[in-house]
A and B are shown apart, each in its own frame.
Chain A
Amino acid sequence: MTTTTFASFIKLNASSSPWIGQRSFNQRPGSSSRSPAATVSVIRAGAYSEELVKTAKTIASPGRGILAIDESNATCGKRLASIGLENTEANRQAYRQLLLTTPGLGQYISGSILFEETLFQSTTDGKKMVDCLREQNIVPGIKVDKGLVPLPGSNNESWCQGLDGLASRSAEYYNQGARFAKWRTVVSIPCGPSALAVKEAAWGLARYAAISQDNGLVPIVEPEILLDGDHSIDTTLEVAERVWAEVFYYLAENNVMFEGILLKPSMVTPGADHKEKADPETIAKYTLTMLKRRVPPAVPGIMFLSGGQSEMEATLNLHAMNQSPNPWHVSFSYARALQNSVLMAWQGRPENVEAGQKALLSRAKANSLAQLGKYSAEGESDDAKKGMFVKGYTY
Chain B
Amino acid sequence: MSCYRGKYADELIANAAYIGTPGKGILAADESTGTIGKRLSSINVENVESNRRALRELLFCTPGALQYLSGVILFEETLYQKTAAGKPFVDVMKEAGVLPGIKVDKGTVELAGTNGETTTQGLDGLAQRCAQYYSAGARFAKWRAVLKIGPNEPSQLAINENANGLARYAIICQENGLVPIVEPEILVDGPHDINKCADVTERVLAACYKALNDHHVLLEGTLLKPNMVTPGSDAKKVAPEVVAEYTVRALQRTMPAAVPAVVFLSGGQSEEEATVNLNAMNQYQGKKPWSLSFSFGRALQQSTLKAWAGKEENVKKAQDAFLARCKANSEATLGKYQGGTGLSEGASESLHVKDYKY
Contact = CB atoms under 8 A, between A and B. Distances in A.
A163 B31 CA distance: 52
How big is chain B's contact interface, by range?
Answer: 35 or more
B257 A297 contact: yes
Given A19-B152, A33-B193, A43-B198, A298 B287 contact: yes
Nearest to B256: A293
B155 interface: yes
Contacts of B149: 19
Interface stretch (B125-133, B246-254, B262-270): B246-254
Interface stretch (B47-55, B83-91, B206-214): B206-214
Contact of B213 (A17, A245, A296): A245
The CB with the most chain A CB atoms within 10 A, among B2, B149, B289, is that of B2
Interface string B277-316: 0000000000111000000000000000000000000000
Contacts of A43: 195, 198-199, 202
B2 A252 contact: no
A294 B287 CA distance: 16
A129 to B, nearest CB: 34
B236 interface: yes
Contacts, number: 114
Interface string A33-59: 110100001110000000000000000
Contact of A31 (B193, B199, B219, B289): B193
A19 B287 contact: no
B111 interface: no
B192 A32 contact: yes
A294 B199 contact: no
B135 interface: no
B289 A327 contact: yes
Nearest to B218: A293
B202 A238 contact: no
B193 A293 contact: no
Contact of A33 (B199, B214, B235): B235
Given A238-B2, A292-B257, A20 B193 contact: no
B2 A241 contact: yes
B246 A245 contact: no
A327 B242 CA distance: 22
Contacts of B207: 249
Interface stretch (A22-30, A182-190, A378-386): A22-30
Contact of A36 (B3, B156, B195): B195
Contacts of B288: 297
Contacts of B82: none
A241 B219 CA distance: 12
Contact of A293 (B153, B155, B219): B219
B203 A252 contact: yes
Contact of A292 (B151, B196, B214, B258): B258
Interface residues of A, number: 40
B324 interface: no
Contact of B151 (A24, A241, A242): A24
The CB with the most chain B CB atoms within 10 A, among A23, A27, A36, A295, is that of A36
Contacts of B253: 252, 258, 296, 298
Nearest to B1: A238
A249 to B, nearest CB: 4
A21 interface: yes
Contact of B249 (A21, A41, A237): A41
A36 B242 contact: yes
B201 to A, nearest CB: 10
Given A19-B153, A43-B202, A292-B257, A327 B195 contact: no
A393 to B, nearest CB: 26
A20 B159 CA distance: 12
A345 to B, nearest CB: 40
B261 interface: no
A234 interface: yes
A248 interface: yes
Given A237-B2, A298-B252, A327 B193 contact: no
A20 B198 contact: no
B74 interface: no
B194 A19 contact: no
A248 B155 CA distance: 20
B256 A41 contact: no
A297 B153 contact: no
A278 to B, nearest CB: 16
Contacts of A327: 257, 287, 289
A295 to B, nearest CB: 7
A19 B253 CA distance: 21
Given A294-B213, A298-B249, 15 more contacts: A19-B200, A31-B193, A33-B231, A33-B235, A36-B246, A41-B198, A245-B214, A249-B206, A252-B203, A293-B2, A293-B220, A293-B258, A294-B256, A296-B253, A327-B257
Q: A-B pairs with the 10 shortest C-beta distances?
A: A298-B252, A245-B213, A252-B206, A33-B236, A238-B2, A327-B289, A292-B258, A293-B258, A249-B210, A292-B257
12 contacts: A19-B151, A33-B231, A33-B236, A34-B193, A36-B194, A234-B2, A252-B203, A292-B258, A296-B255, A297-B288, A327-B257, A327-B289
